[in-house]
Structure 1
Amino acid sequence: MPRRPSPLDGERPTRADLARFATDDPNAIDDVLPASGRLKLLIVGINPGLWTAAVNAPFARPGNRFWPSLHRAGLTEHEIDASRGLRDEDERHLAERGIGITNLVGRATARADELSSAELREGGANLVTRVRELQPRVVAIAGITAFRTAYGLPKASLGLQPPDAVAGWPPHVALFVVPQPSGLNAHESIDTLAARWSEVWAEASSDV
């Protein structure tokens, strides 16, 4: 299914624009998934922010360190700017690299902590089903707190998870948890995030 164009037609959202994207729509943005070919890495955000919903592009808010850290880690050949929407050429580039992007929860909020535990648990269960369908080589969930809640794992830590950590998870799909890249996460920088993504990408690119 083709991605919907940015609702704002390539314009930067205003504060008034952002307010109207705080809805209960469970599918606030489209996934970014290769139409064909092997899905090497499925990146899973927590849920769309309002800016992301406004332009229908993942991790789109200016100041989010997602795209700069991916580029610094070598996942993309150039730094993608999704602040006005994801360009066709950028989507093709991600597909060529075997990278897909989705969310645990589809509802857009101003902050991830506005999600309920029940929403995260439901999103976690749905992700297990999708991973079994999509069969990526590696999955990386961006947000340790949401991961712990989604799967009832209060002691889980960042990095590669044990093969049996999540009930029903396909044993041949490696599961990583990386830090939330939002500018609100003061514990991380582009460099520290890039180090995490380098580890993930090495696993996703492995020929083993």
Structure 2
Amino acid sequence: MMKAGDYMAFKDNLKHLRENAGYKQAKDFAKAAGIPYSSYATYERGSWPNEANLTRIALTLHASIDELMGYTPSPLSTIQQIKQDFANVGYELKEEGSTWWRYEITEPGEEYPFHVKTEDDLKQIYQQIKLDVFRDLKKVWADNIHDALVDYERKLNKEENQAYLRIQMKLLEQMKPLSDKMMKAEAEGDTKTLGSLQETLFKLLEKSNIKGIGGTDKKK
């Protein structure tokens, strides 16, 4: 179980691991890790790096994320965690103690196992798996957020279109009797009434954004 003393402040642990790796100057390490010194310097003052820079630091120091955070579990607890995580997806991890390899890993449904030479190699493989899973998880989140927003916009547009069509239908219902009155006024030669009705018609057409008589479109 993790104890309070298992952790060091990230900034102190980072500096300690950097110096142990032979980088006496923080600027030299930042260059080796491919991180702008202005960014890296804030990490040794207590800021947390983003995932990309944390990965660069870990790879350059040949350290795990746990080590960078100041937590170093016992070898047994680490191996047990690896065994459990592998078993959860059907992989069997055995410690063989062979002259040529230490661990044998059998993939689900496969007869021939993989072999890993040392405990450090197994830990590095496991660390890379965790980083890859973390990146994949971020991508899944990003994809799901995108899909959810697209679905929302489609639903919103569908609702808006339906509301717009309802308005159009209502206006068309109003225009039908108006059209009948206009035909009657034209037949009777009542130009005054016809002009008034046409003005009303244009207002309705403008509201509905439909081209009026003669292709007039007052809604530009």
- TM bin (shorter chain): under 0.3
Q: Taking structure 1 as the reference length, what is the TM-score of the superposition?
A: 0.26
Give the structure with the higher percent strand.
1
Q: Taking structure 2 as the reference length, what is the TM-score of the superposition?
A: 0.25
